[in-house]
Chain A
Amino acid sequence: DQQVKQNSPSLSVQEGRISILNCDYTNSMFDYFLWYKKYPAEGPTFLISISSIKDKNEDGRFTVFLNKSAKHLSLHIVPSQPGDSAVYFCAASLPGGSQGNLIFGKGTKLSVKP
């Protein structure tokens, strides 16, 4: 049973436009949500996170929105750049470091075309 879902395996966007990556979750106990970015032949790197008590967190070109009632979060990248082309993983964690686990979605491959 997949608790974190990224239903779009890929997304293609023109440079300069907005990229919107979506993530849905089923466990209402998750208290933190994170986005990781992964380039080929490298490990995932942390991008941005949001606590469940917030609905928005912004860091430069990256903004994450959380809609708890819909159990949905999204990552907005504005403006998109070719260097943003990567696989983006949504992840969630449980309170108190339960199991210490990050539960990952399957990832969305973003392609930003010049």
Chain B
Amino acid sequence: EAQVTQNPRYLITVTGKKLTVTCSQNMNHEYMSWYRQDPGLGLRQIYYSMNVEVTDKGDVPEGYKVSRKEKRNFPLILESPSPNQTSLYFCASSLLAGLGGTQYFGPGTRLLVL
């Protein structure tokens, strides 16, 4: 089954404790992206990757890091989480970037930073 998976689905942590949210896709997609969803703000892009070893900042990259060592994986790293990073996070992938390339989303990771 073609899908985007994220782990963990739910996470409670404390300020300053490094964490990683994993994202994996099995569709051989080149493009992957991370979004956060906050009430009243919709979906905002954090980082994206056009291909292996190619990553770039989205609209709200502060406090986040990513890496793309393999095509299928695109982990999101919070080196020192803060309460304002409490949010719902979605990973997405698509075969093409732009050109109306449909993005497929993972199920989401709900993060609470105390």
Residues of A at under 8 Å CB distance from B?
6, 31-32, 34, 36, 41-46, 49, 51, 89, 91, 93-102, 104-107
A43-B58 in contact (CB<8A): no
The A-B contact count (CB < 8 A) is 76
Residue contact A101 to B45, C-beta cutoff 8 Å: yes
CA distance A44 to B97 in the complex (A): 17
Main secondary structure of the interface of A (DSSP, over half): mixed
In the complex formed, the residue of B with least CB distance to A93 is B98
Tell me whether B42 and A32 are in contact (CB under 8 A): no
8 A-B residue pairings within 8 Å (CB atoms): A34-B100, A42-B107, A43-B108, A44-B105, A46-B104, A97-B31, A101-B45, A104-B43
Q: Which residue of A lies closest to B91 (CB)?
A: A43
Given A42-B107, A89-B43, A107-B42 in contact, is the A101-B58 Cβ separation under 8 Å? yes
B90 at the interface (CB under 8 A from A): yes
Q: How far is the CB of B52 from chain A (nearest CB, A)?
A: 14
**Contact at B90–A49, with CB atoms within 8 Å?**
no
- Check B105 against A98 for contact (C-beta < 8 Å): no
B56 to chain A: closest residue by CB:
A99
Alpha-carbon separation in the docked complex, A102 to B33 (Å): 10
B-side contacts of A100, CB under 8 Å: 31, 33, 48, 50, 97-98
